[in-house]
Structure 1
Amino acid sequence: MPGESRSMYLYEGHRVTVSDLLEAGLLEAGAKLRFTRKRIGVTFDATVTGTGRIRLEPGGDEFRSPSGAAMVAAGMRAVDGWRAWVVVGENRLLDAVRQEFLDRTMSADRRSADGDRQRVHERLRQARDRADRQEPERITVRELLKLWGATDRGDQIGQIEADLANHGLVTSPSFRAVTLDTVVSLTTPPDEPEPAPEELPSTEDDEGEGDLNVRLTVGNLTPLDGVGSVSPNSSLDEAVTEMLLNDYSQLAVLSGPRNVRGAVTWRSIAEAMHRNPGAAVADAIVRAEVVAYDRDLVEVLPTLQQQEFVLVTDQHKAVTGIVTTADVARRYGEMATPFFQLGELDRTLRWILRRVLDLPTVQPLCGRAIKTFDQLAFGDYRRILEDKQVWERLGWPLNRQTFIARLDEIRLIRNSVMHFHPDPLSEDAVEKLRNFTTLLHRYRDPG
């Protein structure tokens, strides 16, 4: 990679490939690989080609990623190929070779590499050591993101996932599909996940890089830290007390964390007591839909519309959360508010400029060709208002530099919102939008 260091190469979100190991001299073309499924006593062989691909033997099918090769060879739905293939003769996993590549890269560039990159590398090495000892580190998603200086699952998410993958780590549950305050474990994928007979093995050969994964999931709306519940043998007094103390509208009825009997609601309790004043919880149970935390929210909306709630299971299939129509309304409100505010700001700025300026004055100030005021964007507003003569024509008793600085913050907020990140905009950012709108309304008429 001429002109850039290895560390910068990795910094750009690149996942280590077999080609990288060949280029670094840590693996040779023609090297033999072996994948043994100890549970059933079956072995698969492969060869590393000169182009950095893995060729299955016999058969000759070639794959760019170790995982793609392992999945097809074993006919399994998901396999971490880096921890499946062993380099014959060296008796070490491809994962160990990858780790040596990472260590060498960071060591060679220690003087020039970003200190934050070194810190992330060392922290993930420690997390991997703990995972290998079956003592995985537990951390909130919010704290995990802070390792990369991120506050939400925005544009840096590709870098974060690449860094985790390069160290052979995953989060359980998936940090994409839960709330920011959910605690996740930094662990390694299971050595031999249970196959899914009803599904064909994936032929995707990109280590997951082909999945856009921009979904809003059920788990993004609710913490997976437990759910209020009663047993089927409980009294209605117990259920009512639990609901009143916690301001619940419904309560799960469980015989165990994975054994859902249904739920009780205020309506089902009232109907049960109307039928029988001495009714128990068992008499008030209604059906409750159970969905996995990583299920697409849009797929669950029809059920929520009919039943008003769903119970949510975590990565261990235990019921640990609940999502209601109120939760959905709140989240969509959080997502919609910035859109409306930005739309109002956009229209107001355009209206102000149209009243004060003519198009020939505006056109040279934009960094691109425009034919109408309707083509102006937030970047154009900044360039136009940076012009001293334009600012003086507005006649606003405001500091131009301070105003432009805030307008630039608004532009960055706009970019974040339009990228449809799964996390709601921070209250601080929402407040900046509100205050800027109020300011524009105050001075929108020319003085």
Structure 2
Amino acid sequence: MTSETLEESSGRTMHLLGGRRVTVSDLLEAGLIRVGTKLRFRRNRIGVTYDATVTERGRIRLEPEGEEFRSPSRAAMVAAGMRAVDGWHAWLVVEQNRSLDAVRQELLDQAISSAAAAAHRQTEDTARQRIHERLRQARGRAEERAPERMSVRELLSLWGAKERGDQVSQIEADLANHGLVTSPSFRAVTLDTMVSLTTPLDEADGTATEEQPEMVDLPVAGDEEGGGDLDVRLMVGNLSPLLGVEAVNPNSTIEEAITKMLINDYSQLAVLNGPRNLRGAITWRSIAQAMHQRSTPSLGDAIDPHVEVVAYDRDLFEVLPTLQQREFVFVWDETKEIKGIVTTSDVAQRYGEMATPFFQLGEVDQTLRWILNRSFDVETLQQACNRTITSVDRLTFGDYQRVLENKDCWARLGWPLDRPTFVSRLEEIRRIRNKVMHFHPDPVAEDAVDILRRFNNMLHHYRDLA
């Protein structure tokens, strides 16, 4: 292979390791399968087999219906009438007697091998190679039924990320390409929640061969039509780390419950008879009602059986009416164990965390606009921004930066401040603004809120000099 061919191959294959899901077309292009390749999805438990063919467009054509799908999972779901199934594992490449996922892994191995051979010319690919090797190791552990566990924060750090921002799609694509999912979903929990890197087949207990067992509804490693689901919801699990709940068992004493509530400053306790058997809750209200009815009530007298339990990946907005009425809900994890609790106080705190930077940014925006309106005419602003502006109200945050980094405009303000330092901080605030306005699920860092607050205080001090 010539150096030019090596670089071209490395550039093409490394792209698959940089945030895009592998497709059937990629397998065709690499020569790992061919047009007309026969695929089979067998459900031994009910004695049904579904056949399909790979088309020249890289689609999966179901037989005999003729429907075509870009996504292996979508093709398997439609063929079998199932709600969810990982098609990369379900479809068997008949002539090779291995799953589509096995072919996908071979493609990724080729990609990393080509990139490593050209590493001296493509040092920027080092991080992608490291991620690939790391996920390949995690895949091996998952297949050995010893899945790796880490916090969401540790997972994000593999991609150099500190929060679930713009890199989420890339992370999901890299996981999907290696046939991995996180359990629970890393989108729907807190940054400190522990997740397992596992494969859907961990729950199916089978492999994609001619003896493949019945496939069931599984968590899919993301290959839906159009490149995956858009999910920007705030979920119940984003407020609960799923580390378990403080509880008493039905045979405990009411004194034990009261003591636990006082020591931990809790307003409620779960009453559990096993991790999945929630008998109700003890609250200060239920204790007061029990004591009103009996002079020496038992724990059973104080149990409120009318409690709500919701899944960790439930949309928080759907749960708000229940929280308003009940003041708390218990949270199931992915195995239906009671692992968390969300209260109205938690919701108020999260929305406060989200609202504070939002309003601080609004104050920055309004103050800068007021200063520019007082200091410059529209013609001057147009020249600085190099675009047509009919009113100061039409200025964007980028326009503020262009005006204030202009030496002549800055001189007209008369501020005894260093312009480069001021503009640098304004750029930092612009990045904070983008995160807030994109509604990332993680709270804005406390130091970012302090940056906004201090900047607003400075603007208030100097605005009267404009």
What is the TM-score with the length of structure 2 in the denominator? Answer: 0.91
Structure 1: which 5+ runs fail to align? 197-201
CA contact (8 A) 2:150 2:196 kept: yes
1:122 equivalent in structure 2: 133
1:411 equivalent in structure 2: 430
2:286 equivalent in structure 1: 268
CA distance in 1, matches of 2:437, 2:9: 33
CA distance in 2, matches of 1:216, 1:238: 35
Displacement after TM superposition at 1:14 (Å): 1.6
1:47 equivalent in structure 2: 53
2:5 equivalent in structure 1: none
CA distance in 2, matches of 1:104, 1:223: 38
Q: Which of 17, 23, 28 in structure 2 is aligned with 1:17?
A: 23
Report whether the alignment pairs 1:173 with 2:184.
yes
Q: Give the share of equivalent positions with the same residue, in percent.
A: 68
1:441 equivalent in structure 2: 460
Displacement after TM superposition at 1:57 (Å): 2.1
How many equivalent pairs are there? Answer: 440
Q: How has the CA–CA distance of structure 1 residues 106 and 373 changed in structure 2, closer, same or farther, with 3 Å as cutoff? A: same
Displacement after TM superposition at 1:210 (Å): 4.5
Q: Secondary structure at the residue paired with 1:177? A: coil
CA contact (8 A) 1:86 1:94 kept: yes
Runs of 4+ in structure 1 displaced over 6 angstroms?
A: none
CA distance in 2, matches of 1:216, 1:410: 24
Report whether the alignment pairs 1:236 with 2:254.
yes
Displacement after TM superposition at 1:12 (Å): 5.3
* Deviating more after overlay: 101-110 vs 373-382: 101-110
CA contact (8 A) 2:61 2:69 kept: yes
Amino acid at match of 1:295: R
CA distance in 2, matches of 1:441, 1:8: 50
2:208 equivalent in structure 1: none
Deviation per residue, 1:331-367 (Å, 9 max, x gap):
0000011110000000111111111211111111114
Q: Secondary structure at the residue paired with 1:315? A: coil
Q: Which of 254, 267, 279 in structure 2 is aligned with 1:249?
A: 267
Displacement after TM superposition at 1:410 (Å): 0.4
CA distance in 2, matches of 1:194, 1:259: 25
Q: Secondary structure at the residue paired with 1:392? A: helix
CA distance in 2, matches of 1:54, 1:434: 55
Report whether the alignment pairs 1:353 with 2:372.
yes
CA distance in 2, matches of 1:153, 1:94: 30
CA contact (8 A) 2:250 2:299 kept: yes
CA distance in 1, matches of 2:271, 2:58: 54
1:338 equivalent in structure 2: 357
Q: Which of 153, 156, 160 in structure 2 is aligned with 1:145?
A: 156
Q: Which of 54, 60, 79 in structure 2 is aligned with 1:73?
A: 79
Q: Secondary structure at the residue paired with 1:444? A: helix
Q: How has the CA–CA distance of structure 1 residues 220 and 271 changed in structure 2, closer, same or farther, with 3 Å as cutoff? A: same
> Where does 1:245-394 land on structure 2 (aligned, <5 Å)?
245-286=263-304, 287-394=306-413
Structure 2: which 5+ runs fail to align? 1-7, 205-213
Q: Give the superposed CA RMSD.
A: 1.9
> Where does 1:127-138 land on structure 2 (aligned, <5 Å)?
127-138=138-149
